[in-house]
Amino acid sequence: MDCIFCKIVEGNIPSYKLYEDDKVLVFLDAFPSVYGHTLIIPKEHYKDLDDINSETLNHIMKISKKIKKQIEEKINCDGMSIQQNNGDLQEVKHYHLHLKPFFKVEQPKKSVEEVYEILKK
């Protein structure tokens, strides 16, 4: 399978990991749409919401609450959009949940490396 997220899980492609356990991997989006844009993926390949099992989905949601709080505390955002795409909206065909911080005031541009250092403190 030629899935970029599976390659990240396998360690064949580097990522800025924020959290990992036996079921999920959380890392910064390499091409963020906003400062702090984070992805949560299952380690097992599931195509989309129709494909993923309830146990894994529930675990992802549990971890999303933890990571959401961590991001809010570290970067002081004003809100958070949590998004999951399916079908033609889904760029990578591996289930993933986007956590996208919202800011009332536009933030200065920061590299993924800079954001990683802030979130890992």
Say how many domains are in the chain: 1
What confidence score (pLDDT) does residue 95 get? Answer: 98
What confidence score (pLDDT) does residue 108 get? Answer: 86
β-pair partners for 80: 101
pLDDT along the chain (121 residues), means of 10: 94 97 98 95 98 98 98 96 96 97 92 95 81
Q: Does 96 participate in catalysis according to the annotation?
A: yes
What confidence score (pLDDT) does residue 64 get? Answer: 98
What confidence score (pLDDT) does residue 28 get? Answer: 98
Nearest one of 41, 16, 42 to 30, comparing CA atoms? 16
Nearest one of 13, 7, 44, 41 to 27, comparing CA atoms? 41
CB atoms within 10 A of CB 31: 8
What confidence score (pLDDT) does residue 90 get? Answer: 94
Range of the domain at 34: 4-120
Provide the H-helix boundaries in the chain.
4-10, 54-75, 112-120
Domain of 75: which CATH number?
Answer: 3.30.428.10
Which of the following is catalytic: 45, 59, 94, 96? Answer: 96
